[in-house]
Amino acid sequence: MYTLPRMLLLAVLALAPVASVRSAELEPLLPAETESVVMINVRQVLDSSLFKKYGQGQVEQALQGNDAQQVLKEIGLDPMKDIERVVGGTWGTGPEDMKALFVVRGKFDPAKLFAAIKQAAKSEPDKVEILSEGKYKLVKLTVENQDKPFYASVANEKSIVVSNDKKLVVNALADAQKGAKPRLKKDLAELVKSQDDSVSLYAVGLTAGKVELPPNFSLPIQGVDPEKLEKQLQAIKHAAIVLNITDGLNLSIAMGMADAASAKEFGGTVDQLVNTARVFIPVIAAQQPQFRPLADELSQTLQSKVNQKSVSLSLKISGKTISKSVGGGE
C-alpha cells in the first residue's frame, strides 16, 4: 500500500515538465507485474547548472581519494561519465512482499566489474558472494541493517540489473539476451509514454485503492476530515511525479481521479492543505533566516489545480533563490 508519508516523499521529488517534450521510452526489462516506474536521468542531472554549481565539486572531491580512484580503476567505471540513467519498477501489496527491479543504463566493462567483484568476495565474503544460476553469474550483496540481500548482474556492456529477488535478475538477463520487447500493463505503459524523457526524474504508478493514511493518523487542520481524506486518497487511480533540475528546481504532481466529482472534492482538500502550508512555511523558516528567500518563493509558487478528472500540485525554486538560501550569494 502507498502510505501518505511515502506519497509526500515522492512528491518532494517532483517537477513540471519542460517545454520540449520527448516521449519516455518503455524499459523492456521491467516485468509485466510492474505497478510503478521511476526514471532517474543521471546524465541530465550531472549536466545541470544547479549540480555543477553545488554538487559537482563535492562529488569530484569524494572520488579523488586514493581508495575511490583505485576501486574505479579496477572496475573500469567513471561515474561522472559512464552512467546515463536508472529505470526501476516496483510492485506488491505492502513492504513485506514488495518486489523491485532496477536497470542501470550506461557504459560498463563486464570483465573488469566481475574481476573486482571476485576480489571483493574473497576479502568480504559475508557481504559479497558470487552465485551461479544456470548459465548466469549473479552477485549477492548483503547490506547492513537490511533484512534481505540484493542481487545484481551485468546484462551487457550497456546494462546492469539489480533486484531484491534473484529470480527477477535471472529473468532480466534472459530478456536482455533475447532482446525482449516492453510488456508493461497498458495503463502503466501509457502513463510512462506520457512523460518527458529529458527531465531529471519521473515516477508514475497505478494507485487505485492503494493510497492510505497511517494507522491513528490525525490532521489538526480545520476543514480536513481524516476519514474523508482516506476515501479521497482511495479514489486516486494513478499518479505522476516529475522533477526537473536545471539552474533551479521545478516540481509537479498529477493525480488522476476516478471521476470529475471526486477530483473536485479532493481538489478542495488539497487546496486547504496548500493554504495551510503557505501559512506555516514562513513560520518554520523564521528559525533559520537564511532560508527566508526559499520560504517566500515556496509560498508564492506552491499551487494546486483541478482539471476535469485530475488534481495537480506544482512548485518552482529559482537558482537565484537557492543561491541566497544555500550559497549565501545572489
Answer with the residue of higher pLDDT: 183 or 7: 183
What pLDDT is attached to residue 328? 54
Specify the number of domains making up the chain: 2
Q: How confident is the model at residue 329 (pLDDT cuts 50, 70, 90)?
A: low
Average pLDDT of 47-72?
Answer: 82
Q: How confident is the model at residue 7 (pLDDT cuts 50, 70, 90)?
A: very low
What pLDDT is attached to residue 21? 55
**Residue 23 within a domain:** no
**Residue 2 within a domain:** no
Q: Are residues 162 and 205 located together in one domain of the fold?
A: no
Mark out the alpha helices in the chain (DSSP H runs): 4-12, 42-47, 49-54, 56-63, 66-75, 110-123, 166-178, 186-193, 226-234, 260-285, 292-301, 319-322
Q: Are residues 162 and 215 located together in one domain of the fold?
A: no
Which is it for strands 201-206 and 36-40: parallel, antiparallel or unpaired? Answer: antiparallel
Q: Are residues 259 and 213 located together in one domain of the fold?
A: yes
Helix, strand, coil abundance in the chain, percent, nearest 5: 40, 25, 30
**Residue 163 within a domain:** yes
What pLDDT is attached to residue 269? 93
| Backbone angles phi and psi of 112, in degrees to 5 | -65, -40
| Backbone angles phi and psi of 140, in degrees to 5 | -95, 125
Residue 174 belongs to what domain range? 28-178
Residues 205, 48: Cα–Cα separation, whole Å: 26
For residues 228 and 221, the answer to whether their CB atoms sit within 8 Å is: no
Which is it for strands 211-212 and 2-3: parallel, antiparallel or unpaired? Answer: parallel
Q: Are residues 219 and 309 located together in one domain of the fold?
A: yes
Residue % of the chain over a pLDDT of 70: 90
Answer with the residue of higher pLDDT: 218 or 115: 115
26-40, 82-96, 134-148 — most confident range: 26-40
Average pLDDT of 19-29?
Answer: 77
pLDDT tens sequence across 72-103: 777 878 888 999 999 999 998 777 789 999 99
Name the grid cell of 194: 506520457
Q: How confident is the model at residue 279 (pLDDT cuts 50, 70, 90)?
A: confident
CATH number for the domain that contains residue 139: 3.40.1000
Residues 49, 99: Cα–Cα separation, whole Å: 35
**Residue 20 within a domain:** no
Domain C-terminal end among 178, 205, 238: 178
Average pLDDT of 198-212?
Answer: 91
| Whole-prediction pTM | 0.87
Q: Are residues 149 and 205 located together in one domain of the fold?
A: no
Q: Are residues 164 and 34 located together in one domain of the fold?
A: yes
Q: Are residues 138 and 258 located together in one domain of the fold?
A: no
Ranges 195-209, 232-246, 285-299: which has the least confidence: 285-299
